[in-house]
Structure 1
Amino acid sequence: MVEPDKHSRTNRRTYLKSSLSAVALASAAGCLGGSGGGGDTLKFGYTSSLSGPTAVLGKQYHTGFQIWRDHVNENGGILNKEVELVHYDDESNPERARELANRLASQDNVDFLFGPYGSPNNYSASLVSQQNQIPMVSGASSDPEIFSRGLEYYYSTLSKTTKYGKSFPEFLASLDWGSFDMDEPSTAATLRADAAYTSTLGKALTQNLEDQGFEVAYEQEYPTDQNDFSSILSELSNADPDVLCVCGFPADEARFAEQAQQAGLNVDIHYQNYSSQTVIVDTLGDQVNYMMNGAWWDRRYDYNRVDTYVEMWNQRKDSVAEMPLSYATAAGMVFEKAIEEASSTNADDVNQALKSLDIETPLGRTQFHETGWNRHQYKNEAVRQWQNQEMTLLYPEKFATGDVWLPTPNWGNRDSSPE
């Protein structure tokens, strides 16, 4: 899932024009390719949001690459070459991400590029990859517009955002509501933060709810830095939905949930996209129970190397097994496998291997559409619920670790399981 950026709604034509101009100038200055793994190391370059609005998840993403590097090097490297990481802080700024991608290609002479954290930063940095014909694999981009530009060297281990938002409505439709001694919910409300990722996700979720027979009684988009949700809460109270879905980011979702509790806004089902992050528990305490959330990775998924990576994550003092780490390690595994299948570190050979790759990563099956997005990752979308201040995995059913808690008590009475 991709974190917002204060520039995320800037006109993309501006990005395209400025990025191509800057890359052309760099190209004119000299040859911009990587070293082709000619020595004893393979250099992978990337930026991540270590400061700025996306730093919370950007730091996890950065740590995921380090864990992948350590795992690879401890097991003999790739084609007997040690992995070296060259990275910079892009400050959660797409223009900075593009500038630093140019630096990685033209000055640091990296062999391959990882995409930065977040769709806005990938939108700009991916043009550097294309111009220099250096493969770039991202673990954190899903904006459909990224994949509409004919990029031949760019890939994402995530699917397009328009593919997301299916599991939660499907999960609701699968439940036996009579067993919970409650009426089947029929109306829904959706909120979405005004950023490329969340706006697209919110619209997809709205459509998928309607496809499952829900009447969407209220729909609203809000700025990512909104502090006061009182007017939205008033409108939600008037709409009186059975199901409430919030597609935001950790900080704004926590603010909304806190204000919903203060306002006494009670719904049958409360779903928040990023309510898996610990900030929601810090904000709500034991009242976080019964809240549901979506996830595109869970440490309990039985996928390639999951146990290995979870163990490595949990050994580090600077990380826990959260989604952005899995995104990064999946991107690393994609490059690792492509290089091995190509039996070469030549950029074009590896790029051809990426186009035909079909492997299992911590995100599940990874196979790229001709435009660069993962054809399969969205199918693994999970539904989880806070129970006893821990997350229970409910869906997909084959990975479920417990039963759903329903009906949802009013705020103030959510500190225990259903009777």
Structure 2
Amino acid sequence: MPGFGRSGRHTALLSATAAVLLVATACGSGAGSSSSGAIKIGASLPLSGPVADASKPAYEGYKVWLDQLNKNGGLLGREVELKVLDDGFDQNTVVTNYNRLISQERSDLLLGTFSSRLNLPASAVAERNKMLYVEPSGGAEEIFSRGYDYLFFAQPSTSLDLPEQFVQYIKSLPADQRPKTAAYPTQDDPNTDVTINEFRKELTELGVKTVYSEKYAPDTVNFDPIASAVARAKPDLVIHGAVAANDGAGLVKALQKQQFSPKMMFQTNAPSLIGSYPKAIGAKNTEGIFTSAAWSPNADYKGNAEFVKAYTAAYGSAPGDDAANAYTAGQVLEAAVKGVGSLDQDKLADWLHSHTVQTIVGPLKWDARGVPDGDMLLAQWQSGKFEFVAPAAQKTVDKAVNPKPGWSS
């Protein structure tokens, strides 16, 4: 495990050619890095493109945190601004954006973008510039294997640990209720790649035979060929590595056209988009679909009830995982600045490496890689509600729905 020392570390700067689109700013223009003006926080998000539906709640989570922060006096006695650039889910653009936020916009602090696909190159820009980088999503192991000092993940655990609760649930079932075969369609993304590989490894060890395993491009819109192949394989279980509601719903609707409904279904990310997912596939069709989650609106962690109330008041609906993860990243950044009492990036990173931060997803502490020490939750749609079935301390229902009902017309 790498130490915290910064000498001798070299991070390659990724080249970028795409143009930058300034999407939104909060609180107006600031005074850069001066000690008297507003503190500038920079971030990039895919507010357009194939995962815009998932990044929009993340942006809203950032804004709820920012509003509460400024109402409580800001940071270091100064108002805080948030400047967000749109990267369109493009790796070149996200690199351009963070370079611009650092060198041209003179951001004092950074917050991360959405997904492992984008956070992988974006965190490299932050590391090269020796700036703290707190990411709300993007748990691929590849991100944390580079010996970075300024990188921190604001969820309880990474993609490698995501299958744990569901695999444990499978193990708890009587032998005649366990799936015998599984299909693994997945978007080609560093985050989903790690998760699906781990799912397949652990389920294979339980005797679950793989009957389909293929990747699709991030810009895929026609899921009919994938659904047709899955339907022909007739798996008991479908583990879908989805990144957003677009591909999550796209596969479900394609499976409906094939009139194939697996006995069990787990999708990453998409089902936790509680505002858009049921609308996309039909509320009745969510029944029995599993996913993982980093956060529960019912958890009794400090500030959680206030976050849910504030978000609901601002946006007219309850928050989901992506909004909560972004809010948590803001909490982590806030705690570091208040703990250090300055914007010194080295001190901020050292402080987070040696302290536990109380957040709405629970207490977070990190190892030398910026990896948190915690557990994800196992969630499932039941009777039109996003419920939690594991671990026991976070359960909102007595038991999981199994098998999954067929699709509703």
What is the TM-score of this pair, normalised by structure 1?
0.82
**Is the contact between residue 190 and residue 246 of structure 1 (CA under 8 Å) also seen in structure 2?**
yes
Unaligned stretches of 5+ in structure 1? 1-14, 20-33, 414-419
- Say which of 202, 206, 209 aligns to 2:203: 209
Taking the TM superposition and a 5 Å limit, the aligned residue runs for 1:66-145 are 66-145=63-142
Taking the TM superposition and a 5 Å limit, the aligned residue runs for 1:7-86 are 16-18=13-15, 38-39=35-36, 41-86=38-83
**Is the contact between residue 383 and residue 394 of structure 1 (CA under 8 Å) also seen in structure 2?**
yes
Taking the TM superposition and a 5 Å limit, the aligned residue runs for 1:256-405 are 256-273=251-268, 274-277=270-273, 278-282=275-279, 283-317=281-315, 320-376=318-374, 379=375, 381-402=376-397, 403-405=399-401
Is 1:240 paired with 2:238? no
Q: CA deviation at 1:227?
A: 4.1
Unaligned stretches of 5+ in structure 2? 1-11, 17-30
Structure-2 residue corresponding to 1:254: 249
Structure-1 residue corresponding to 2:407: 411
Tell me which amino acid in the other structure corresponds to 1:78.
Answer: L
Tell me which amino acid in the other structure corresponds to 1:382.
Answer: L
Q: Distance between the aligned counterparts of 1:284 and 1:233, measured in 2?
A: 18
Q: CA deviation at 1:312?
A: 0.8
Question: Closer, same or farther in 2 for the Cα pair 1:366/1:238, shift >3 Å?
Answer: same
Q: CA deviation at 1:231?
A: 4.3
**Is the contact between residue 339 and residue 353 of structure 1 (CA under 8 Å) also seen in structure 2?**
no
Question: Closer, same or farther in 2 for the Cα pair 1:230/1:92, shift >3 Å?
Answer: closer
Between Structure 1 and Structure 2, which shows a larger proportion of helix residues? 1
Tell me which amino acid in the other structure corresponds to 1:209.
Answer: L
Structure-2 residue corresponding to 1:172: 170
Tell me which amino acid in the other structure corresponds to 1:141.
Answer: G
Q: Distance between the aligned counterparts of 2:62 and 2:406, measured in 1?
A: 42
Question: Closer, same or farther in 2 for the Cα pair 1:264/1:123, shift >3 Å?
Answer: same
Tell me which amino acid in the other structure corresponds to 2:323.
Answer: L
Tell me which amino acid in the other structure corresponds to 1:191.
Answer: P
Question: Closer, same or farther in 2 for the Cα pair 1:327/1:285, shift >3 Å?
Answer: closer
Q: CA deviation at 1:35?
A: 5.9
Question: Closer, same or farther in 2 for the Cα pair 1:122/1:290, shift >3 Å?
Answer: closer
Q: CA deviation at 1:240?
A: 3.1
Q: CA deviation at 1:321?
A: 0.3
Question: Closer, same or farther in 2 for the Cα pair 1:212/1:343, shift >3 Å?
Answer: farther
Structure-2 residue corresponding to 1:4: none
State which drifts further: 161-170 or 79-88: 79-88
**Is the contact between residue 44 and residue 83 of structure 1 (CA under 8 Å) also seen in structure 2?**
yes
Is 1:222 paired with 2:213? no
**Is the contact between residue 135 and residue 152 of structure 2 (CA under 8 Å) also seen in structure 1?**
yes
Report the 3-state secondary structure (helix = DSSP H, G, I; strand = E; otherwise coil) of the residue aligned with 2:282.
helix
Count of aligned positions: 378
Tell me which amino acid in the other structure corresponds to 2:357.
Answer: I
